[in-house]
């Protein structure tokens, strides 16, 4: 995928490139941070949905044989490789952002429901509870865990009402 900024000075850095670079740099930082914390807190999952909001119009151009087809789009997905990994970044027009966010919210609620419906073997649950008790020895960890459990309970009640 290529991108182009209309009316941009060729001597100035591309705003699109800077935004993409910023997103990838942050995701790399989060990954390294998660790996470092995994020794202390164990394995866990984090989900990120990188989004760049553009204050302007988005267009998609496709070359087919000898024709170039151009069409306006409210959002695009950029797939880019960096250090052997693929990154998928949503690029959304400011005008379309609320609708996009609503779709993401619906997707998040569905994922939360699916995760909440998982059942784990008793041995796994016992191991998790033992790890929680071990981590509760630290006042800082106990406070963070209590907040996470309270948020989880609040989200479950909210999802149950839906």
Q: Per-residue pLDDT tens for 107-158? A: 989 988 888 888 888 888 788 788 777 766 666 666 666 777 777 776 666 6
Cα 40 to Cα 135: distance, rounded to the nearest angstrom: 9
Tell me whether residue 5 is in a domain.
Answer: yes
pLDDT at position 1, please?
Answer: 56
Average pLDDT over residues 91-114: 92
3-state secondary structure of 116: helix
pLDDT at position 147, please?
Answer: 74
pLDDT at position 140, please?
Answer: 62
Tell me whether residue 133 is in a domain.
Answer: no
Residue-wise pLDDT for 23-74, tens only, equals 999 998 888 888 777 777 666 677 889 999 999 888 888 888 889 999 999 9
Cα 86 to Cα 147: distance, rounded to the nearest angstrom: 33
Identify the band that residue 102 occupies on the pLDDT scale cut at 50, 70 and 90: very high
Tell me whether residue 148 is in a domain.
Answer: no
- Rounded (10°) CA dihedral 158, 41, 141, 151: 0
pLDDT at position 67, please?
Answer: 93
pLDDT at position 122, please?
Answer: 86
Tell me whether residue 45 is in a domain.
Answer: yes
Identify the band that residue 92 occupies on the pLDDT scale cut at 50, 70 and 90: very high
Tell me whether residue 67 is in a domain.
Answer: yes
pLDDT at position 104, please?
Answer: 92
The pair of structure tokens assigned to 107 is: 């997707």
Tell me whether residue 149 is in a domain.
Answer: no
Q: What is the DSSP letter of 138?
A: S
Tell me whether residue 49 is in a domain.
Answer: yes
Q: Which domain holds residue 56?
A: 1-95
pLDDT at position 4, please?
Answer: 64
Tell me whether residue 52 is in a domain.
Answer: yes
Domain count across the chain: 1
């Amino acid at each position: 995928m290529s991108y182009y900024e209309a009316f941009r000075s060729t001597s100035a850095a591309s705003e699109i490139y800077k935004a993409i670079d910023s997103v990838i740099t942050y995701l790399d930082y989060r990954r390294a941070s998660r790996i470092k914390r995994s020794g202390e807190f164990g394995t866990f999952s984090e989900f990120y949905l990188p989004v760049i909001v553009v204050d302007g119009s988005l267009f998609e151009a496709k070359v087919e044989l000898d024709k170039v087809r151009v069409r306006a789009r409210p959002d695009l997905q950029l797939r880019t490789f960096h250090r052997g990994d693929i990154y998928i970044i949503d690029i959304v027009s400011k005008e379309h952002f609320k609708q996009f966010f609503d779709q993401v919210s619906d997707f998040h609620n569905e994922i939360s429901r699916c995760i909440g419906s998982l059942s784990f073997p008793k041995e796994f649950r016992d191991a998790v509870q033992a790890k929680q008790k071990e981590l509760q020895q630290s006042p800082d960890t106990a406070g963070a865990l209590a907040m996470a459990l309270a948020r989880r309970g609040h989200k479950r009640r909210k999802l149950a009402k839906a």
